[in-house]
A and B are shown apart, each in its own frame.
Chain A
Amino acid sequence: MKIIFLILKREYLVRVKKKSFLIMTFVTPLLVSCIWLVPVFFAMRDIDQKKIEVIDESGKFEKTFKDTKELVFKPVNTAVETAKKDFAKSGYDVLVHIPKDILENPKSLKIYAEKNVSLEVKNGIEKAVEQEIENIRLLDAGIDRKVLESTKVDVSSDTYSLSEEGEKDSSSGAATGIGYLCAFIIYFAIFIYGVQVMRGVMEEKTNRIVEVIISSVKPFQLMAGKITGVALVGLTQFLLWILLTFGISSIMSNVLGMESLGPQKRVEMMAQPPGTVRNATVEKPKSEQKSSPVTTVFKAIGTLNIPLIIGCFLIYFIGGYLIYSALFAAVGSAVDSDTDVQQFMFPITIPLVLSFIMAQFIIREPDGAVAFWMSMIPFTSPIIMMVRIPFGVPAWEIILSVTLLIGGFIGTAWLAARIYRVGILMYGKKPSYKELVKWMFYKA
């Protein structure tokens, strides 16, 4: 154990001290924060007030335009031509001209601006005018707006799953999202860190240091130390990514002046296309604000079994990584050069890529036969089971799958170790699959 720890320590420190690790660890959260914040920032930027001059020749729209945070309306009585001429000096951003015959000729509404008017502003003004015209026409026809409003119904459904525990609010949307996210993270972690294990093994082999090392330690100890060392590097990196992403995001949002927005609000803003936000403010507030999809998701996430998901995620994350990194280590030991890697990488990555592709079908039918079997096979279960778990999987399936995963890991590690101990000392020609099988049965 002490020896494995020594190896683990070296593998860990060497990687963590690398420049590329530091760069990856700090740049990724920065990028993620940018991807996350820049759209919000731009959405917020044109919140800076726009002053709008309104020439209402019809005289019917005095009360239509209500000032909002972003838009300030000022009715003026000058003629259109003068207003247009003086527009540049007037200090207004937008000029709205409502002609006399707007009721008869709704298309005659004109919006002028020095620069192009943003689509949201345009839509907002149009909507407001449109609604007012509707109101006027309705009034003319003897119908009150309020009456009309009361006839409108908004149908939106909540989905519920019926289980032994009774009716439970479930949201397939949230489950899909979480399932995908978990599968995605596991898929990439296996690839990134599995390949790191393989490179490490190849480095030792091509450097020829391996012969010195295994005159001191058993090949299995070396392999185990390397795999666990890289696993810790991965966990460190993920942890730093999460912390830094939150850290940088909050710093950046402060710098960008978004502190007034609570995180909830920020999420809402992100979740909706900016246009809808604007419309909602220009429009008269609806009597019943429909809850935004994001809050629904948050609510739905709350109904999922979060501890179970996190627990399973860790098990499948670690289990999947261990299985594949053992295989990657075996590949690394069998080859001499990068060019030979492809041939052996391919068959290993097939189940991984396949399960990632299948995930999107399984997410639609999480209880199908394919889903069941793929979540039992240790090579596909880390991804497929994680896709299914947010939808609810019977306990016995999880237990069976985890047992198979552990068994699969032990079997894979054993086979990989047998290839590894022979492979690291074999130089020269590229081995065939037949030879790899033979290596497994060599006496130590």
Chain B
Amino acid sequence: MNILETRHIVKQYAQHRALDDVSIDIPRGQIFGLLGPNGAGKTSLIRIINQITGPDEGEVLFDGKPLGPEHISRIGYLPEERGLYKKMKVGEQLLYLAQLKGLSERQAMEKLKEWFVKFDIKTWWTKNVEDLSKGMQQKIQFVATVLHEPDLIILDEPFSGFDPINANLIKDEILELREKGSTIIFSTHRMESVEELCDHIALIHHSKKVLDGPKKVIKEQFKTHTYHVEYQGSLNDLNPAYTILDSKKLEDGYLRTNIRIPRDAVVNELVRDLIDQVAVRAFGENIPSMNDIFIKAVGEVPTT
């Protein structure tokens, strides 16, 4: 069952339609990548899910029921633009934010203790936020987002501002949260993290949803039926049904060539054909990266 569904969401600002008939289903227990270029409408959608603003048309269902104030405590939100009260102590601030999400002070305290031990940041408790580095503040904010153990966690560019070590730490936390059954909406421009983490993606472009589905299925859709081969010798006598896209000489004298085959062709025949002619060192399918898919999907949509 889907934890969250949006149905035909429209959000209109004065001269600008931020969301135009956007319907997406977010399956429970998955990491859902919400992608799109800058200004596509991701933040507007996220704000609607967070009930910061309401849609002009359409509806949002949480657990099958219309989204309402009772769901606030079940959602955790890490906005792209991070912010904490600078002059407030770390501990007090986290307690406050947790209480706003409906935890009692005691519950919040217990959970915070666990996180402070886990991240080994016990000494930060009495520090003012402004005395922490940016990365440290991000960590605090991450804790604030997930402290109340929400069912749905919305992370907008969660890795920005982290060094690789801490980015890894956060990544592991995200995966662990999924293990525990949380659903994560993950909005980012960094396609390598989408590649790595997301089970499901949706792509919004010019206020419309242009792509949606499990990552595997989407990759399948964007397959170009091209293969690469590294070899020595010359490929002059290839079956004319196959197209050589490009070829370049590698430093060690081998050639690397990309070949496209017709949609209905059998790969084995290509392999056979290659082996007959040249000494093959490596062969593989060119699987589209998320980056390719992103550029392709966004590029295909007319910009009107």
Contacts of A425 in B (CB 8 A): 47, 52-53
15 inter-chain pairs at a CB distance below 8 angstroms, sorted by A residue, are: A6-B99, A14-B88, A204-B85, A207-B86, A208-B79, A209-B83, A209-B84, A212-B77, A212-B97, A212-B141, A213-B100, A215-B51, A216-B100, A425-B53, A443-B54
Whether the pair A14, B100 counts as a contact (CB closer than 8 A) is no
Chain A residue with the shortest CB-CB distance to B85? A209
7 cross-chain pairs, A with B, having the tightest CB-CB distances, nearest first: A208-B83, A209-B83, A216-B100, A208-B81, A207-B83, A215-B50, A215-B77
Q: How far is the CA of A210 from the CA of B88 in the complex (A)?
A: 15
**B75 near A: Cβ within 8 Å?**
yes
Q: Mark A1-34, 1 if CB is under 8 A from B, else 0.
A: 0010011001000100010000000000000000
* Listed residue (B47, B75, B99) with the most chain A CB atoms within 10 angstroms of its CB: B99
A14 to B87, CA, bound (A): 8
For the complex, is B82 an interface residue (Cβ under 8 Å from A)?
yes
Q: Which residues of A contact B54 (CB under 8 A)?
A: 443-444
CA–CA, A14 and B81, complex, Å: 23
Number of CB contacts from chain A to chain B under 8 A: 61
A217 and B100 contact, Cβ closer than 8 Å, known pairs A207-B84, A211-B81, A425-B47 = yes
Q: Is the CB of A438 closer than 8 A to any CB of chain B?
A: yes
Contact with A along B234-267 (1 / 0, CB 8 A): 0000000000000000000000000000000000
A358 at the A/B interface (Cβ < 8 Å)? no
Are B14 and A207 in contact (CB-based, < 8 A)? no
Most B-side CB within 10 Å, residue of A3, A10, A210, A444: A10
Query: Does B131 sit at the interface, judged by CB under 8 A?
Result: no
- B residues 24-70 near A (Cβ < 8 Å) are 47, 50-54, 56
Check: B19 CB closer than 8 A to any chain A CB: no
Give the complex CA separation of A6 and B105 in angstroms: 11
**B22 to chain A: closest CB distance in Å?**
17
Of B14, B84, B85, B101, chain A has the most CB atoms within 10 Å of the CB of: B85
Q: Answer whether residue A214 sits at the interface, using C-beta atoms and an 8 A cutoff.
A: yes
Q: Which residues of B contact A203 (CB under 8 A)?
A: 85-86
B72/A215 in contact, CB under 8 A: yes
Contact A208 B85 (CB under 8 A): no
Q: Confirm or deny: B18 has a beta carbon within 8 angstroms of a beta carbon on chain A.
A: no
**B116 interface contact, C-beta 8 A:** no
Contact pick for A208, options B47, B52, B82, B100, CB 8 Å: B82
Nearest Cβ on chain A to B274's Cβ, whole angstroms: 55
Tell me if A212 and B88 are in contact (CB < 8 A). no
A444 to B100, alpha carbons, bound, how many Å?
21
- Alpha-carbon separation in the docked complex, A60 to B86 (Å): 82
A212→B141 CA distance, assembly (Å): 10
Q: Which residues on A sit within 8 Å (CB–CB) of B101?
A: 216
CB-nearest residue of chain B to A422: B53
Chain A residue nearest in CB terms to B99? A6
Q: In the complex the two chains form, what is the Cα distance from A212 to B72 in whole Å?
A: 11
Inter-subunit contact A212/B79 (CB<8 Å):
yes
* Chain B residue with Cβ nearest A438: B14
CA distance A203 to B83 in the complex (A): 10
Interface residue from A210, A212, A443 paired with B144 (Cβ < 8 Å)? A212
16 other A-B residue contacts (CB within 8 Å) besides A215-B52, A215-B75: A14-B87, A18-B87, A204-B85, A207-B84, A207-B85, A207-B86, A208-B79, A208-B82, A211-B81, A212-B83, A212-B141, A212-B144, A213-B97, A215-B50, A215-B77, A216-B72
- Interface presence of B125 (CB below 8 A): no
B83 near A211: Cβ-Cβ < 8 Å: yes
CA distance A14 to B50 in the complex (A): 27
B96: Cβ under 8 A from any A Cβ? yes
Q: Is the CB of A210 within 8 A of B83?
A: yes
Return chain B residues, CB-CB under 8 Å to A435: 14
Least CB distance, B147 to chain A, in whole angstroms:
12
Q: Which residues of B contact A18 (CB under 8 A)?
A: 87
Q: Fill in one digit per residue for A415-444: 1 if any B CB lies within 8 Å of its CB, else 0.
A: 000000000010000000001001000011
In the complex, which residues of chain B have a beta carbon less than 8 angstroms from the beta carbon of A209?
Answer: 83-85
Let me know if B83 and A444 touch, CB within 8 A: no
Minimal Cβ-Cβ distance residue in A for B97:
A212
Contacts of A3 in B (CB 8 A): 100
Q: How far is the CA of A434 from the CA of B144 in the complex (A)?
A: 37
Inside 8 A of B56's CB, which chain A residues have their CB? 443
- Residue interface bits B133-172, CB-to-A below 8 A is 1, else 0: 0000000010010000000000000000000000000000
Which of A14, A210, A216, A435 is packed against the most chain B CB atoms within 10 Å?
Answer: A216
Enumerate chain B residues within 8 angstroms of A7, measured Cβ to Cβ: 100
Instruction: Known A6-B100, A216-B101, A425-B52; judge A211-B79 contact (CB<8 A).
Output: yes
Q: Are A6 and B53 in contact (CB under 8 A)?
A: no
Residue in chain A with minimal CB distance to B72: A216
- Report the minimal beta-carbon distance from A17 to chain B, rounded to whole angstroms: 9
Tell me the minimal C-beta distance from A431 to chain B in angstroms. 11
Q: Considering the chains assembled together, what is the distance between the CA atoms of A6 and B72 in angstroms?
A: 16
